[in-house]
């Protein structure tokens, strides 16, 4: 299909759970094909003790295996290898626990126990159950051509969820936009003030240091070497401030941003709240400051060239 990168069959159900023939309530299950799921799903690092592929490999090696929520295992006294029975479509499906999990894509631990099984194992034990198809689209691909291509094959889409649209809507949240706007304005003001201060300091100190520059020129220092010394001075000054500011910024982010969890909805969010520092954003900040510094150095270099250093030395002798 046009624009399709990968596809995965996924079945999501809320079913009854039995242990040794005793009903233990309901749980959310996810039936997946492990190798397909690995190519489509995204999972944030740090939510599980091991990489997600470790758990998917366990399902591949154990066709009748199941990933069980850790809280359910602890509450029920279950261990690895214990069998669990699920009532799926009126048919019992048995599986044994191969690994505990705390989080899994699309499963919310706040809604009760959760389990992840092999979809093909479920299909072998039950009548044909409907399932969803998750698609990983190529960059820039649109959903409508895929829907049209499926319709031409006699396959009609009855429900469509687009994660990209949901991300766009999340970015348009008034709180998010306002918070980002405040941070952006603060960065612009701080950046402009920093570079302006750097420029004014060096520009105003040029004439007071004209005698020093004239002596260096008289000692044989060429104009390019003098310009390089001036640039190196600015780079070291700004670089030290930039490095210290980066360290303080990272420390402040990890210290202050967790206080945003005063909102109960954020404090109880799934997955848990975490502070993320995007390396790409940091690089953009460095590029912007670097460009501003470069422009400032060009202006200072032009001002230095215009200063008549030989007259400064002569005036120094007269003084």
Q: How far is CA 69 from the centre of its chain?
A: 25
**The pLDDT value given to residue 318:** 46
User: Is residue 33 within 8 Å of residue 9, measured between CB atoms?
Assistant: yes
Q: Residue 88's beta-bridge partner residues?
A: 91
Averages of pLDDT over each 10 residues, the chain, 319 residues? 77 93 92 93 85 93 95 93 93 95 90 94 88 85 81 83 82 82 84 78 73 74 79 79 85 80 62 79 82 76 67 50
Give domain limits for the chain: 4-141, 173-318
User: Does residue 220 come out as left (phi exceeding 0), alpha (psi in the -120 to 50 range) or beta?
Assistant: left
**The pLDDT value given to residue 208:** 72
Residue 285 CB coordination number (10 Å): 16
User: Among candidates 48, 46, 47, 52, which has minimal Cα distance to 34?
Assistant: 52
**The pLDDT value given to residue 119:** 95
**The pLDDT value given to residue 261:** 65
User: Is residue 10 within 8 Å of residue 129, measured between CB atoms?
Assistant: no
Give the whole-angstrom CA distance, residue 122 versus residue 276. Answer: 38
Give the whole-angstrom CA distance, residue 280 versus residue 8. Answer: 30
Give the whole-angstrom CA distance, residue 136 versus residue 147. Answer: 14
Q: Three-state SS string across 271-285, please?
A: CCCCCCCCHHHHHHH
205-223 burial, b at 16+ Cβ within 10 Å, e below that, comes to ebeebbbebbebbeeeeee
Per DSSP (E only), the strands in 155-279 are none
**The pLDDT value given to residue 265:** 59
Give the whole-angstrom CA distance, residue 207 versus residue 91. Answer: 89
User: Is residue 72 within 8 Å of residue 100, measured between CB atoms?
Assistant: no
User: Is residue 29 within 8 Å of residue 125, measured between CB atoms?
Assistant: no
263, with CB counted inside 10 A (0-12, 13-18, 19+), is exposed
Give the whole-angstrom CA distance, residue 13 versus residue 126. Answer: 13
């Amino acid at each position: 299909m046009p624009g399709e990168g990968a596809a995965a069959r996924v079945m999501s159900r809320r079913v009854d759970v039995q242990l040794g023939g005793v009903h233990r309530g309901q749980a959310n299950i996810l039936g997946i094909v492990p190798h397909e799921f690995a190519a489509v799903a995204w999972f944030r690092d740090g939510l599980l003790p091991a990489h997600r592929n470790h758990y998917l490999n366990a399902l591949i090696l154990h066709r009748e295996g199941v990933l069980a929520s850790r809280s359910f295992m602890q509450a029920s006294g279950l261990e690895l290898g214990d069998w669990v029975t699920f009532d799926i479509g009126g048919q019992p499906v048995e599986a044994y626990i191969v690994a505990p999990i705390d989080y899994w894509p699309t499963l919310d631990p706040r809604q009760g126990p959760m389990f992840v099984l092999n979809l093909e194992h479920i299909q072998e034990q039950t009548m044909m159950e409907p399932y969803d198809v998750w698609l990983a689209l190529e960059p820039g691909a649109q959903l409508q051509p895929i829907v049209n291509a499926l319709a031409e094959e006699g396959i009609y889409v009855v429900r469509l969820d687009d994660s990209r649209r949901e991300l766009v809507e999340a970015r348009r949240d008034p709180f998010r936009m306002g918070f980002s706007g405040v941070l952006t304005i603060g960065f612009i003001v701080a950046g402009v003030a920093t570079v302006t201060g750097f420029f004014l300091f060096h520009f105003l100190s040029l004439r007071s240091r004209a005698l020093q520059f004239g002596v260096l020129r008289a000692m044989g220092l060429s104009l390019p070497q003098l310009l390089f010394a001036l640039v190196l001075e600015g780079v070291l000054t700004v670089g030290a401030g930039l490095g210290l500011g980066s360290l303080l910024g990272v420390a402040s982010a990890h210290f202050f941003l967790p206080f945003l969890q005063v909102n109960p909805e954020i404090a109880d969010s799934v997955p848990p709240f975490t502070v993320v520092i995007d390396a790409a954003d940091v690089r953009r900040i460095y590029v912007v400051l670097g460009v501003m510094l470069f422009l400032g150095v060009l202006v200072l270099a032009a001002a230095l060239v215009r200063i008549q250093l030989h007259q400064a030395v002569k005036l120094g002798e007269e003084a």
